[in-house]
A and B are shown apart, each in its own frame.
Chain A
Amino acid sequence: MTDTPAASETATSQEGAFSRFLHATELDTRLLGMLGALGAIWLGFHFYGEIVNGFGAFLTPRNLWNLSVQTASIGIMATGMVLVIVTRHIDLSVGSVLGFCAIIMGVMQVNILPMYLGLGHPMLWIIAILCGLIIGTLIGAFHGFLIAYGKIPAFIVTLGGLLVWRGAAFLVARGETISPVDPTFALLGGGPYGAVGSTGSWIVGLLGCMAVLALIVFGRRQRKNFQITQRPVWAETFLAVVGCGAVIGAVLLVNAYPWPKGIVRRYASAEGIELPPEGIFISHGFAIPVLILIAVAIVMTILMSRTRFGRYVYAIGGNPEAAELAGINTRWMTVKIFALMGFLTALSAVVASARLGSATNALGTLDELYVIAAAVIGGTSLAGGIGTIYGAILGALVMQSLQTGMVLIGFDAAIQQVVVGSVLVLAVFLDILYRRNSK
């Protein structure tokens, strides 16, 4: 993406200062551009609602909290799609594999396991999830095996998978909707009980701030050890303040969204609490699926930027032949990448079916396209070799923001499709322009 309106304004008014600022902080202009675009979308929807409908519903704690939960499922898969696309492959099957894994986990916890363990057994949801994750990983590995060793193009293998796994999901459950899921399992999908609450969110926020500071201090020490130029202290301070500020802001936001009155009343009567007439303010805090997404994002970022595996993924994307000649087992890498994609798809299946409270045959339909769009909007190049985890998650957030925003201001489904499709093409075009200019 190119510069945002806000960013380019600053750049033109004080060119020197802004580029010096970018240089000192070593911030990625693409990241700033994405954040700017996201900000513009959010403000646009909010003020459009304010002016046209008389009520700006977008920038409210409630909407942003829901937005974060809705982004989780696509976001988790988009991180895996980055690896697939960076290595010049594609995975069209993630939506169907998500549906299949959800059905398997549903059947396990509703039909099969209760026969042996009894209904409501505490291990029920854990075993069901493990089964789902293992099956998702195996399906991915199988796709990867066909691509790497069978030399069948990924497009064909996963296009076949798109049909096969959707059909298989139907066969397993004979087309029935599997519900209700285990109550503990359902917490992983979010909702008032599926969030960590005010105190929990502050603990998460505190850990987040400590991580930001630790990264900056550790980075400085590392650069000092090897005599690489340091960032100026003011730039480090700026990054620390912005990083911690963002974390604390997110905590304040999710804590500002209270439980609905009905839930509070039920909770109070169940716990035997006397309910004052004005009600009790119980914060949602971070939703569990969002925490899962954050954990996935951290692990995947470390994987991609700090491990050999990640380095090899980029090398294969940049020049597959060179990677092979450097002694990298590129075929086995392909199997591992698709297995990881399958694992993340199964994890998304947990979040999606838990959120729905049931497993349906149609779960995840068209998800593959949203996941690919999220990765591509986030700057992943279909030519291979380029792509970041944070970009893909921001891309998922942009996609979800567009959809939510259009629902809030009352656009119908047809217009939503037109807009989302156009944005995808526009985003990639802007990305191409950006790369051409930066060369």
Chain B
Amino acid sequence: MTDTSTPLVELKDISIAFGGIKAVDHVSVDLYPGEVVGLLGHNGAGKSTLIKCLSGAYQMDSGEVLVNGQHATINNPRDARNYNIETIYQTLALADNLDAASNLFLGRELTNAMGLVDDAAMEAETRKIMGRLNPNFQKFSAPVSALSGGQRQSVAIARAVYFNARILIMDEPTAALGPQETQMVAELIDELKRQGLGIFLIDHDVHQVKALCDRAAVMKNGKLVGVVKVDEVSEDDILAMIIAGKQPEHLVA
């Protein structure tokens, strides 16, 4: 971790309300290259909402997003992609009626000289990246509705990784996976970290956050409880932050 360098992303004082309820209330978090920041909290604490402001799915009411220290305007998912921000949603956000290649390139289709969609080229590229991520994957012509949970997950991950993401948002990437596939995701996170990506990881599993993340940001009722380095706190400390909304005592000056 290089705290002295410019953060990849700075979320500054973000607020967003839905019908009078403050889903995110003046929250600031930052993310450095090669770092994994865990976002923790109860259901409805505002983690997903905060992250959707960064991925362009929601528009924040107030606050600022800086990417590489520069002000970033993110009004929709296309803007986010232009800043090399990729998101793996909890729901995976796959079009079930399309095949893996069409989903991987959705919104960014490869086209030939005539401007027509080049399915063969996209399938070839998909075969390449899937060979790296999930060598067992063979169902290239089937719609993704015919795939298993793990296979669908690997399509969603491939989509985020393929386009040279700098900033990766993973919303409960292992929620639907078995132990072996969870291990695969963990190894992938490590590899992406080494490549210098910054990753926001939303997860319920405190144990996993301790294992995978460098820092953890805990939210409760839309407010930020605190950001801690996972090596300096115990799992119980993090649980206390999530449940009681209190900073660990040895860190409070």
- A-B pair number, CB within 8 angstroms: 81
Q: When A314-B98, A318-B97, A321-B91 are in contact, do A326 and B117 touch as well, CB less than 8 Å?
A: no
A302 and B114 CA atoms in complex are apart in Å by 12
Contact of A327 among B92, B107, B111, B120 (CB under 8 A): B107
Is the pair A315, B77 in contact by a Cβ cutoff of 8 Å? no
Contact of B120 among A223, A317, A324, A329 (CB under 8 A): A223
Question: Please, what's the 1-or-0 string for A319-330, where 1 marks a CB less than 8 Å from any CB in chain B?
Answer: 101111111110
Is the pair A386, B97 in contact by a Cβ cutoff of 8 Å? yes
Q: How large is the interface on B (under 10, 10 to 19, 20 to 34, 35 or more residues)?
A: 20 to 34
Query: Chain A: interface secondary structure?
Result: helix
Query: Could you tell me which residues of chain B, from 49 to 94, have a CB within 8 Å of some CB in chain A?
Result: 55, 57, 76-78, 81, 87, 89, 91-94
Kindly report which residue of chain B lies nearest to residue A310, judged by CB atoms: B117
Is the pair B117, A327 in contact by a Cβ cutoff of 8 Å? no
Contacts of B30 in A (CB 8 A): none
Contact of B102 among A306, A311, A317, A324 (CB under 8 A): A311
A327 and B92 CA atoms in complex are apart in Å by 14
Is the pair A307, B78 in contact by a Cβ cutoff of 8 Å? no
Query: Could you tell me which residues of chain A, from 117 to 171, have a CB within 8 Å of some CB in chain B?
Result: none
Is the pair B123, A228 in contact by a Cβ cutoff of 8 Å? yes
Extra 15 A-B pairs, beta carbons < 8 Å, given A322-B91, A322-B95, A385-B96: A225-B120, A228-B120, A307-B115, A307-B117, A310-B117, A311-B117, A314-B98, A314-B102, A315-B106, A321-B91, A323-B106, A324-B57, A325-B57, A325-B77, A328-B107
Contacts of A306 in B (CB 8 A): 116-117
> Measuring CB to CB, which residues of chain A are less than 8 angstroms from any residue of chain B?
222-223, 225-228, 302, 306-308, 310-312, 314-315, 317-319, 321-329, 385-386
Check: B176 CB closer than 8 A to any chain A CB.
no
Is the pair A314, B117 in contact by a Cβ cutoff of 8 Å? no
Contacts of B121 in A (CB 8 A): 226
Ordered nearest first, which 8 A-B pairs have the shortest CB separation? A318-B95, A318-B97, A385-B97, A327-B78, A326-B107, A322-B93, A327-B107, A226-B124
A324 and B102 CA atoms in complex are apart in Å by 15
A311 and B111 CA atoms in complex are apart in Å by 12
Is the pair B116, A302 in contact by a Cβ cutoff of 8 Å? yes
Q: When A226-B124, A311-B109 are in contact, do A317 and B81 touch as well, CB less than 8 Å?
A: no
Contacts of B78 in A (CB 8 A): 327, 329
Q: When A226-B124, A315-B98, A327-B77 are in contact, do A321 and B93 touch as well, CB less than 8 Å?
A: yes
Is the pair B87, A325 in contact by a Cβ cutoff of 8 Å? yes
Q: What are 6 pairs between A and B in contact, CB < 8 Å?
A: A222-B120, A226-B124, A307-B117, A314-B98, A329-B78, A385-B95
